Every structure is written in C-alpha cells, then in structure tokens.
Amino acid sequence: MPRTKSQIALKLAVTADDVKNYSDVNHAKVKLQGKEVGIYEQRGAAVMKAQKLSSATSAVKAISDHARDIWSGTLEGEFVSMGVISDSNSYGTPDDLLYSFPAVINKTWKFVEALPINDFSREKMDLTAKELAEEKETAFEFLSSA
C-alpha cells in the first residue's frame, strides 16, 4: 500500500507522511470519494509508469516496504496495510488467501480488528478476494498438471 499512500499524497498535494492508516481509503486520515477512486484503483500502473518501474521492481519495492515495517514496527495508534494470510480475520475474507489487511506491527503483525467497512469498500474487498481465490485455484491447477 505504499503506492496508495503516495497516490493519495500526490492527489492532495501533501507529503506521504501526512497520510496515516491507509489500509482502506475509508480509514485513511485523508479520504477519497467519487472520481478519485479511479486513481486509487489504477495506482500500480500509474506509479510504475511515473517511476519507470517494471512490475517486478514494484513487487520488490513492496517486499522491501513490508520488511521495513516488520523491522521498524508501527507507531502507537497507527497501522499499515500488509499482505498476510487471511485465516481468522474479522473482515469476512475467506481463509487461506494472501490478502492485504490493516495491521499493527511490533516485530510480528496483528490484525487491526473489525474496522467498519462501508458498502463500497465491501464490494471492492469481496471482488479482490474472489480474484485472489481464482488466481490461487489457477496456480494449483497449473502445479498439479506439471
């Protein structure tokens, strides 16, 4: 989600450090609505184009950011979005998926439990979970046929 944080900051002409708790646009201290959501949804392609990064470089950056967050932890009262296993989450996401959740970190991660989710975010979350489940199934089918 560092790309999301950067996109929010760019759109609102603030620094990325001014954007807090950005795991979901509705929980960011700076919120997006309406047409700006398209920027959020297309953030990956836009950032890669602007920074002239490949998708592989972008993935490496995300891994690096995760490692930094795990090493440094989160500040009191803040959380980050982290791709973690979805087992036993309070958001209704199916278990056994690698999914991005709000998390607090102190050398290990812990879900931020039960943030309120509005209908718009629920729809996007469910769509993401469906896509991830389909990708997982495709990967398992590929591996079993190899």
**What is the rounded distance in angstroms from the CA atom of residue 60 to the CA atom of residue 22?**
20
Structural domains of the chain, with CATH: 3-145 (3.90.110.10)
User: What is the distance between the alpha carbons of residues 54 and 19, in angstroms, rounded to a whole number?
Assistant: 25
Question: What share of the chain in percent tops pLDDT 70?
Answer: 62
Query: What is the pLDDT at residue 119?
Result: 93
55: pLDDT confidence band, cut at 50, 70 and 90? low
Taking CA atoms, 71 is separated from 58, 74, 145, in Å, by 20, 9, 39
Query: What's the pLDDT at 35?
Result: 42
Angle between helices 43-51 and 2-12 (to 10 degrees): 80
Give the confidence band of 62 by pLDDT, cuts at 50, 70, 90: confident
The pLDDT of 121-138, averaged and rounded, is 93
